Structure 1
Amino acid sequence: MTNDVTLQVGGITPFTTIDFPGRLAAVIFCQGCPWRCRYCHNRHLLPAGVGGKYAWTEVMQWLETRRGLLEGVVFSGGEPLLQRQLPDAASAVREQGFAVALHTSGVYPDRLHDMLPLVDWVGLDIKAPFDEYALITGGGDGSRTRDALRYIVQAGTPHELRCTLDPDFFDAARARKMAMQLAQAGASHLVLQACRDETTRRSRHVPDEVLDAIRAHLPSVTCRF
């Protein structure tokens, strides 16, 4: 199977303790994403249909040397589900004895549904209230992410919902609406991430009223800033 996979890999993080909760893992960054989020910090991974930095056979050979040292492999991006060979790549990784995690925006809910049996944990990015996704993603449809969340909840797959709070977009009203929509979709916990200034790379300030609006509607909120 490995020789037939042509996954486009734009980068690798050889060791992480934060991208796959509870496991020592490597991160494989898949090339390509259909959305253009205004705060994206992996813009070099956005173009699709271009050659990756690493051939998949090279990735598999390297992972073979990590057996017994790492516990899991994270497929991130870009948007991993853009590439239709992702299930084959995940199966190959599992055959090597690694657990599999997936970071996704939920842009391809049906592909995610089919992928869930191969995944031990999902990190699902929440961009905005579902009806306002286009303002963040450059035209994306939030109903896709809502469907993706529904599939994850129905499957009982361990997961994390996380949202990057762009202070130029989120006011208390939008934050409240997003939290209410997530609660209605079955979410109970949300991780909040700071939007970073592209020049200084420092976290931008999030007003307290935005945080309070989210906390008022979700039982558990974690801030990573």
Structure 2
Amino acid sequence: MTTATVTPWPIRPGRKIKIGGLTPFSAADYPGQLAAVIFIQGCPWRCHYCHNPHLLERTAKSPVEWDKVLAWLDTRQGLLDAVVFSGGEALLDPVLPVAMAQVRERGFKIGLHTGGAYPDALQGVLPLVDWVGLDIKTRFADYPAITTLPRSGEPAKRSLEILLKSGVSYECRTTIHASLHSDEQLCEMADELASLGVSALSLQRFRSEGCNHQTLNQVSQSHFPAPNTLEHLSGLFANFSVR
């Protein structure tokens, strides 16, 4: 079993969720909802285009105290609709379901951003979640070229299957870069997703902000993807966008 398929649960008593940062207001991280975004420390993958490299490792002491976040959320009731747990990889934290339950008790909807590295953990939190943004890196067979971890596409595919069966509202999102994807790959990825029953896909153009990979930062993205690629993808999904 690889690192990507090991589930970090069960929860050990006395632990608190490790938070690396907080965005107090966002209109873009949960469709149609005004949300705060909580960024969880730690991720098993090392994606070349990552724009949150400071969240990859889990430190001994959480930079943001959870009790203070809860106290702040108490002041946001009636002002925010939702709280999104992001990362890093939020599902890596064993205390995530406890934190989600505490937020739900305060009347907020729960959003989750995940790469799908921990399908069993995803299965465990879905009853607490109202919406999921699932990152789809590329064709599942090609995941190691993005994540740098062997067989990482296997748990990602299983996470997608679990999510689709759950009935929870979702969006699949693919961050695209001309050095990491080809038009052919995007079309084949989209065909695979559509065959699995995916109805919502967004392509996210690479952002250099926060990315430490200087080679990627210097590559022009102006002509990628090709118009016929976008036409092919738009015909496969009920909800398709490029942002």
- Alignment TM-score, normalising by the size of structure 1: 0.91
CA drift at 1:50: 3.5
Residue type of the alignment partner of 1:204 = Q
Indicate which of 222, 225, 235 corresponds to 1:207: 225
Indicate which of 144, 150, 165 corresponds to 2:176: 165
2:76 corresponds in structure 1 to 66
Q: How does 1:1-225 map to 2 (within 5 A)?
A: 4=14, 6-139=16-149, 141-197=152-208, 198=211, 204-205=221-222, 206-208=224-226, 209-215=228-234, 217-224=236-243
Calculate the aligned-residue CA RMSD, in Å. Answer: 2.1
1:203–1:95 distance in 2 versus 1, CA, 3 Å:
farther
* Number of aligned residues: 222
Comparing 33-42 and 197-206, the one that deviates more: 197-206
CA drift at 1:5: 5.0
Among all aligned residue pairs of Structure 1 and Structure 2, give the percentage whose two residues are the same amino acid. Answer: 44
Residue type of the alignment partner of 1:81 = L
Query: In the aligned structure 2, how far is the partner of 1:67 from the partner of 1:5?
Result: 26
1:109–1:44 distance in 2 versus 1, CA, 3 Å:
same
CA drift at 1:66: 0.9
* 8 Å Cα contact 1:166/1:195 also seen in 2: yes
Query: In the aligned structure 2, how far is the partner of 1:170 from the partner of 1:212?
Result: 17
* 8 Å Cα contact 1:196/1:204 also seen in 2: no
Comparing 111-120 and 183-192, the one that deviates more: 183-192
CA drift at 1:43: 0.4
Greater RCO, CA 8 A, separation 6+: 2
* 8 Å Cα contact 2:170/2:200 also seen in 1: no
Query: In the aligned structure 2, how far is the partner of 1:19 from the partner of 1:173?
Result: 29
- Alignment TM-score, normalising by the size of structure 2: 0.85
* 8 Å Cα contact 1:175/1:213 also seen in 2: no
CA drift at 1:4: 4.6
Query: In the aligned structure 2, how far is the partner of 1:164 from the partner of 1:109?
Result: 20
Gaps of 5+ in 2: 1-12
